[in-house]
A = this chain, B = another copy of it.
Amino acid sequence: MTDGLRAAVASGRLRTGARLPATRLLAGELGVSRGVVVDAYQRLIDEGLAAARTGAGTTIIARPRVRDSASDRRRSLDTLRLPLPPADGIDFDLSPGVPDLSAFPRTAWLRAERAVLDGITAADLGYGDPGGAPWLRAELAGWLARTRGVRAEPDDVIVVGGVAQALALLARTLHAAGRSRVAVEDPGSRGARDQLAHWGVRPEPVPVDAEGLVVGELTQDAAVLTPAHQYPTGVVLSPARRRALLAWATSGDRLIVEDDYDAEHRYDRAPVAALQGSGPDEVAYAGSVSKSLAPGMRLGWLIAPRRLQAELLTAKHDSDLGNPALPQLVLARLLATGDYERHLRTVRGRQRRRRDALIEGLRRHLPDASVTGVAAGLHLMVTVSSDISDISLAERAAGHGVLVHPLSWHRHRPGPPGLILGYAAHPPDRLTEAAKRLGEALSRPGQLSRPGR
């Protein structure tokens, strides 16, 4: 029933602001006990989607954020305790995980699509290979080899509907094999955790420290992680940990799932190569164009150890027969012409300037804060020495019009406070201003409402 209500909210059938029916009434209407309805409402409240006020019943206050493997934007009232101010009080939305959607390469995309449609054959538009268009699989194998050190033949690549679908397919395969205990990072993506749980595997949080996932604590059948730029802390998995992780996998026929969620956004140094290149028989590598083009593309890839590929292809086939053909061919062409690489270069330069503006602003306005996780990605992490929880700090920031994620939202177990700041969607001068506001918010502990409002 909670799922039903949640989906009703997600679909907009229950809109923000809608009052839920009195529990007694709904229980009567559905022919269930009142306790069932009360529990369902409470779960919505726990998830931050609804709020109950004495005398006013239960009201929908937010739509569930669509979850992505490495960009969990959902908020929990049970950890947050107070709802954030409504969005119209927010001047700067620094939620992580959202690329600069205004940078979508419309001209190049359209040019490639015209060329694809000019040359397309009937076979291209028919029922295709469930693993994807051969051209795209070949281009991706080459591209990922060059840029990420991935070792794959074209046939090893399965084209999927984003990393979320890659996780769904892997979870089903693990579950079917009775290998249902899967380690996830803590802090980490709640989206990935929920995705795995939906398909019957048990996600078990394993701590992340300054070297990345604490490999010594792994006892599971598989581990899902973001080694090149941990989500959300930005930590890079250390060389010692990489070696330990691969040894862990080979010593017990365990699977490493590498979510390379922002592989395209590295700034200062050469990127760490993908783990998959060091262990193609141990690592299932997943990536997508969600951060390089747009999440709405729902286009990604999964390169799994060969022993798993047949089952994964069957699962993909029985889910949807395969990804849509046209966007696959357009991406293949963008890769082949170099337009994709050119686009990434442009965006990377822009993101670096944005990151630098935010770092500089924080240095000026929050001089005591420590900023980490800056080598790559679309967000960074700020830690301040404070007795106050990061949730309270985020509330203060919101009171000053800046929406940031407290690290606690992404944690399973308690840990040191932190704030996650996404910078991809804002030009430098706006980020400078956001840093100034943050400085005002966090350096005046007593002040919870925004000046002048």
**Measured between C-beta atoms, what is the minimum distance from A379 to chain B in Å?**
16
Contacts of A126 in B (CB 8 A): 98, 101, 294-296
**Measured between C-beta atoms, what is the minimum distance from A71 to chain B in Å?**
8
**Measured between C-beta atoms, what is the minimum distance from A291 to chain B in Å?**
12
Proximity bits, A239-263, B CB within 8 Å = 1, else 0: 0000000000000000000000000
Q: Does A327 contact B (CB under 8 A)?
A: yes
Interface size of A in residues (CB-CB distance below 8 Å): 73
Q: Which of A1-17 contact B (CB under 8 A)?
A: 3-8, 10-13
Q: Does A311 contact B (CB under 8 A)?
A: yes
Of chain B, the residue at the smallest CB distance from A325 is B296
Q: Does A146 contact B (CB under 8 A)?
A: no
Proximity bits, A111-136, B CB within 8 Å = 1, else 0: 00110011010101111111100100
Cβ–Cβ contact B104 & A125, under 8 A: yes
Which of A3, A68, A104, A317 has the most C-beta atoms of chain B within 10 angstroms of its own C-beta?
A317
Cβ–Cβ contact B320 & A161, under 8 A: yes
Question: Complex: how many Å from CA A313 to CA B324?
Answer: 20
Contacts of A122 in B (CB 8 A): 101-102, 425
Contacts of A364 in B (CB 8 A): none
Contacts of A296 in B (CB 8 A): 124-128, 324-326
Known pairs A12-B155, A122-B102; A7 contacts B297 (CB<8 A): no
Known pairs A66-B127, A314-B6; A294 contacts B155 (CB<8 A): no
Question: Complex: how many Å from CA A124 to CA B120?
Answer: 27
Known pairs A11-B131, A130-B10; A298 contacts B310 (CB<8 A): no
Contacts of A66 in B (CB 8 A): 127-130, 317, 321-322
Of chain B, the residue at the smallest CB distance from A295 is B127
Contacts of A73 in B (CB 8 A): 127
Cβ–Cβ contact A110 & B101, under 8 A: no
Question: Complex: how many Å from CA A303 to CA B432?
Answer: 48
Contacts of A128 in B (CB 8 A): 66, 296
Q: Does A323 contact B (CB under 8 A)?
A: yes
Cβ–Cβ contact A313 & B161, under 8 A: no
Beyond contacts A7-B313, A68-B127, A98-B126: 5 other A-B pairs, Cβ-Cβ < 8 A, are A8-B310, A65-B127, A67-B321, A128-B296, A297-B325
